[in-house]
Amino acid sequence: MVVTSRFYLITGAGSGIGRATALRFSKQLDAHLILVGRNADALEATRKQCENVSQHFVCSMDIRDRAAWQLLWQKLGGEQLNLCGVFANAGEGGENHYGDNRWSEIIDINLNGTYTTIMECLPYLKKSSDVVRHVLITSSCLARFGVPRYSAYCTSKTGLLGLTRSLALEFAEDQILVNAICPGWVDTEMASASMGRLASHQNKAIDIVRSEQAAMVPLQRISNPDEIAALVEFLFRGGQRSMTGQAIDINNGSYMS
């Protein structure tokens, strides 16, 4: 049996949702993963945890750097890549305050970095032999409602929903589906850091804050990364061809449209 190699690029693959998605995808014999992020050691740790380790590639880079993208394609022999899916998952979280540089940094990474990622991948998606190709953007439930001190994060994640709709129309003629996911609290390092800051503001233990945050949503729980990865796998590999331009809420009921 001849197995056609399918390449999937995942940014933010060194931890959390990106790592969980890589581990899930790696169980498929035809899946070759391109794992992108800033921390080379974390990316290599993800790769080593994957199945079929030799099929996967690691690239430590700044997703905003167009030259770095060009170098990546050269190293991978881009003309021969059957790039079937791009999971634009990398992002920057945390608070910002007027006068610091966090506003610009968060907006630049989350919006400009995601846009650059997708556009640098587009020529290779168009060349793919698959009938349908996929782009998935990680937004957030904070694109649905605001929280104090997170104005840059909320703004950037809301902007990603506009990007999703625009690119879905732009890429439709090439049968490239573009969607976004809007997770709520997920048990990741970024979430733990956010809860730590919240605990500090409220002068509470982080375990108390975690329990309180879980209790505020209808299902009274926090998602685990593999749940989100399962949704990504369905969107990319589940055979659906009709969903594009959508923002999919996966947040234990914290927002219901």
Q: What is the CATH number for 15?
A: 3.40.50.720
In a domain? residue 147? yes
In a domain? residue 131? yes
Partners of residue 86 on adjacent β-strands: 9, 135
Residue 236 clears pLDDT 50, i.e. is over it: yes
Residue 3 clears pLDDT 70, i.e. is over it: no
Could you tell me the pLDDT band of residue 2, with boundaries at 50, 70 and 90? very low
Domain tally, the chain: 1
pTM for the model stands at: 0.94
**Does residue 161 or residue 210 have the better pLDDT?**
161
**pLDDT tens digits, one per residue of 123-139:** 999 999 888 999 999 99
Domain that holds residue 103: 6-186+224-250
Residue 252 clears pLDDT 60, i.e. is over it: yes
In a domain? residue 212? no
